[in-house]
Amino acid sequence: MSAVLPTSAPTPTVTSVPRVGLLSMKSWGAVALALLVVAVVVPVLNLAVPAGSAFHASDYAVQLVAKIMCYAICALAMDLIWGYTGILSLGHGVFFALGGYAMGMYLMRQIGSDGQYRMPMPDFMVFLNWKEFPWTWAVSDSFVAQMLLVVLVPGLLAFVFGYFAFRSRIKGVYFSIITQAMTYAAMLLFFRNETGFGGNNGFTDFKRILDVPIATPSMRMTLFVLTGCTLIGFFLLARWLVGSKFGRVLQAIRDAETRVMFTGYNPLHYKLAMWVISAVMCGIAGALYVPQVGIINPGEMSPAASIEIAIWAAVGGRGTLIGPIVGAFFVNGAKSWFTQAFPEFWLYFLGALFIAVTIFLPQGIIGLLKRKKESS
């Protein structure tokens, strides 16, 4: 037995010392500060400070930040599956959109008879001359049921798709391409009027949520705070996940899947679990996104939208949890600035970002900052 052992066993390199708590004291402080900003400071600056003041947070800014926080949840979900499990999904947009559609269906029912046609059915159904709701809309008038669907539909799709894909050990680029095909197929399906979700136009023109008008400042702020808290909650959840034994196995799968298999773990269960969690996070992000942006259409399922999620995570820094959030804010902030100032240069910038990050910044912005810190 001893003959096969290497003469000098390589000293195991410990990449990160297991922490006692979930976060260091300093990080807890940062989280508390973030919570304070999201739940108290921004609402006060937006609602209480008068519009003329220099400290007033404009509705536009609040809506933009809320939108980006939804994107940041997606980026976080992408990081869990890509950065920590090594599986690049090019189809996360479909989970985001499905969550959004589940929320949108409820919002469409909340319009009631206030649509263009003054009918109890959503406008697009009246337009298509449908007399009753398709089966997919069976529980759409119940808020609780639709919120369950926000979780269940992306989760179930991810479970079925992931089970078959991981079971036949499809990995790497193959898996990425198949997820892209999945979101592309879903987009084509949702473009059809017959599918029953509004075709090209999707859902828009929402009026109420839980019988409360959706366009009021207080409602907007409630959704903002909810989104911010969800983001922070998911961040803590992700931190707990990657620090747990479960998360360690995932990282081992990322680095050497075959070796994990030989050690007696079945990667299928681990990958599948993380894949489903990631999909559900995206679904919830979509559900928060729709009432704030006011529209959901099949464009969210386009392959381009999904691949952008990956670039948010890559720009910020994969394999760190704060990275994807930073990346989502950086890329989307740049996007809203570019599309206003130089609309024709936005795609050049985005394309250059894809290239530059993969070649020069494999660790993203966070990696860059870390390197600076270490060298100084």
Partner 1 sequence: MSVPLSLRCLLVCVALFGGSAHALTPQQARALVVGEAEPRIAALNAVLAAADEKTVALIQAMSDDAVKFTDSAVFVMKDGKGFDPVSGAEVAVPDTAEDVINNNQMRGELDTALASIKLFSPDNTVRAEAVKTLASEPDENKLPMVEKAWAAEQVPAIKDALGAVRFAILLGSADKAKRLEAATALGATGTPATKTLLLDRQKVETEADVKAAIGVALKTIEGRLAWGERLGVIFTGVSLGSILLLVALGLAITYGLMGVINMAHGELMMIGAYATYVIQNVFRAYFPGLFDYYVLLAIPASFLAAALVGAVLERSVIRWLYGRPLETLLATWGISLVLQQAVRSLFGAQNVPVENPAWLSGGVAAMSNLTLPYNRIAIIVFAVLVLVGVSLLIARTRLGLFVRGVTQNRKMAACMGVNTARIDTYAFALGSGIAGLAGCALSQVGNVGPDLGQSYIVDSFMVVVLGGVGQLAGTVYAAVGLGVLNKLLEGWQGAVLAKIMVLVFIVIFIQKRPQGIFALKGRSAEA
Binding of residue 192 to partner 1 (CB under 8 A):
yes
The minimum distance between CB 311 and partner 1, in angstroms, equals: 6
Binding of residue 240 to partner 1 (CB under 8 A):
no
Closer CB to partner 1, 193 or 336, in the complex? 193
Q: What is the rounded distance in angstroms from the CA atom of residue 7 to the CA atom of residue 42? A: 61
Binding of residue 118 to partner 1 (CB under 8 A):
no
Q: What is the rounded distance in angstroms from the CA atom of residue 174 to the CA atom of residue 286? A: 26
Distances (CA, A) of 107 to 185, 249, 251, 290, 350: 25, 40, 39, 9, 33
Closer CB to partner 1, 28 or 174, in the complex? 174
Region from 44-52, 120-128, 142-150, 310-318 binding partner 1, contact rule CB under 8 A: 310-318
Binding of residue 184 to partner 1 (CB under 8 A):
yes
The DSSP annotation for 120-138 comes to SS-HHHHHTT--S--GGGT
- Per-residue tokens: 365: 């912005």
Helix 25-36 / helix 217-243 crossing angle, nearest 10 deg: 160
- Strand (E) positions, 184-294? 203-204, 208-209, 212-213
Considering only residues 70-109, where is the footprint of partner 1 by CB under 8 A?
A: 82, 88, 90
Q: Which of 88, 85, 82 is nearest to 267 (CA)?
A: 85
Tell me the backbone φ, ψ of residue 117, rounded to 5 degrees. Answer: -95, 0
x/- mask, partner 1, residues 347-376, rule CB under 8 A, reads xx-xxxxxx-xxx--x--------------
The minimum distance between CB 139 and partner 1, in angstroms, equals: 25
Considering only residues 312-351, where is the footprint of partner 1 by CB under 8 A?
A: 314, 344, 347-348, 350-351
Q: Which residues bind partner 1 (CB under 8 A)?
A: 82, 88, 90, 161, 164-165, 167-170, 172-174, 176-178, 180-182, 184-185, 188-189, 191-192, 303, 307, 310-311, 314, 344, 347-348, 350-355, 357-359, 362
